[in-house]
A and B are shown apart, each in its own frame.
Chain A
Amino acid sequence: MNIVVCLKQVPGTTEVKINPETNTLIRQGIKNIINPFDSYALEEGVRLKEKFGGKVTAISMGPAQAVDMLKETISLGADEAVLLSDRAFAGADTWATAYTLAGAVRKMGQIDLIICGRQSTDGDTAQVGPEMAEMLGAAFTAYVCQIEEISAGQMRVKRMMDEGYEIIQSTLPAVITVTKEINIPRLPSLRGVMKSKSAKIPIWTLQDMGLDPKKVGLNGSFTRVVKIFTPQHDKKAEMIHGEPEIQVTCLLGKLREGGLA
Chain B
Amino acid sequence: MAIKINPEKCTLCSICVNTCPFGALELKEDKIVVNDRCTLCGACQEACPSEAITLEETQKTAVSSEHKGVWVFAEQRDGKVKSVSLELLAKARELAAGLKTEVCAVCFGHGVQDLQQLITHGADKVFLVDSPDLSSNPEDYLTAQLSNLIQQYKPEIVLAGATALGRSFIPRVAAKVSCGLTADCTGLEIDIEKRQLLQTRPTFGGNIMATIICPSSRPQMATVRPRTFKKNAPDGGRQGQIIKLDFNKEGITAHSQLLKFVEDVSEKVKLDEADVIVAGGRGVGKTENFQLIAELAAALGAALGSSRPPVDEGWLPYSHQVGQTGKTVAPKLYIACGISGAVQHLAGMQTADTIVAINSDPSAPIFDIATYGLVGDLFKIVPLLTQQLKRE
Given contacts A64-B36, A142-B167, A228-B209, 19 further A-B contacts (CB under 8 A): A14-B342, A24-B19, A91-B40, A91-B41, A122-B205, A132-B175, A139-B255, A140-B256, A166-B261, A170-B257, A174-B255, A224-B215, A225-B212, A226-B198, A226-B213, A231-B209, A239-B375, A251-B374, A251-B385
Q: Is A108 an interface residue (CB 8 A)?
A: no
Judge whether B36 and A141 touch: CB under 8 Å: no
Interface core residue of A130, A164, A249 (most chain B CB under 10 Å): A130
Judge whether B255 and A140 touch: CB under 8 Å: yes
Taking CB atoms, residues of chain B closer than 8 Å to A171 are 255-256
Judge whether B40 and A223 touch: CB under 8 Å: no
Q: Knowing A244-B381, A261-B389, say if A90 contacts B255 (CB, 8 Å).
A: no
Judge whether A225 and B385 touch: CB under 8 Å: no
Closest to B257 in A: A169
Taking CB atoms, residues of chain B closer than 8 Å to A189 are none
Stretch at the interface among A43-51, A73-81, A155-163, A197-205: A155-163
* Interface membership of chain B positions 360-378, coded 1 if the CB is closer than 8 angstroms to chain A and 0 otherwise: 0000000111111111110
Judge whether A162 and B40 touch: CB under 8 Å: no
Q: Is A38 an interface residue (CB 8 A)?
A: no
* Dominant secondary structure of chain B at its interface with chain A: mixed
Taking CB atoms, residues of chain A closer than 8 Å to B381 are 244, 247-248
Q: Is A63 an interface residue (CB 8 A)?
A: yes
Q: Which residues of B are in contact with A by a Cβ distance under 8 Å?
A: 1, 18-19, 21, 23, 36-43, 46, 57-58, 77, 139-140, 143, 163-165, 167-169, 171-172, 174-176, 178-184, 198, 202-217, 253, 255-264, 272, 276, 300, 312, 318-319, 324-325, 327, 332-333, 342, 350, 354-357, 367-377, 380-381, 384-385, 388-389
30 A-B contacts (beta carbon < 8 Å):
A24-B18, A63-B36, A64-B36, A94-B183, A95-B174, A95-B180, A98-B175, A124-B324, A125-B182, A130-B169, A130-B175, A140-B168, A156-B259, A161-B261, A163-B263, A165-B264, A167-B262, A218-B1, A223-B214, A226-B211, A227-B46, A229-B208, A231-B202, A235-B355, A235-B371, A239-B373, A247-B374, A252-B385, A254-B372, A261-B389
CA distance A45 to B257 in the complex (A): 23
Shortest B48–chain A CB gap in Å is 13
Q: Which of B204, B262, B380 contacts A165 (CB 8 A)?
A: B262
* Interface membership of chain A positions 42-73, coded 1 if the CB is closer than 8 angstroms to chain B and 0 otherwise: 00000000000000000000011100000000
Taking CB atoms, residues of chain B closer than 8 Å to A124 are 183-184, 202-203, 205, 324
Judge whether A169 and B163 touch: CB under 8 Å: no
Taking CB atoms, residues of chain A closer than 8 Å to B259 are 156, 167-169
Shortest B163–chain A CB gap in Å is 6
Q: Which of B175, B205, B324 contacts A135 (CB 8 A)?
A: B175
Judge whether A229 and B385 touch: CB under 8 Å: no
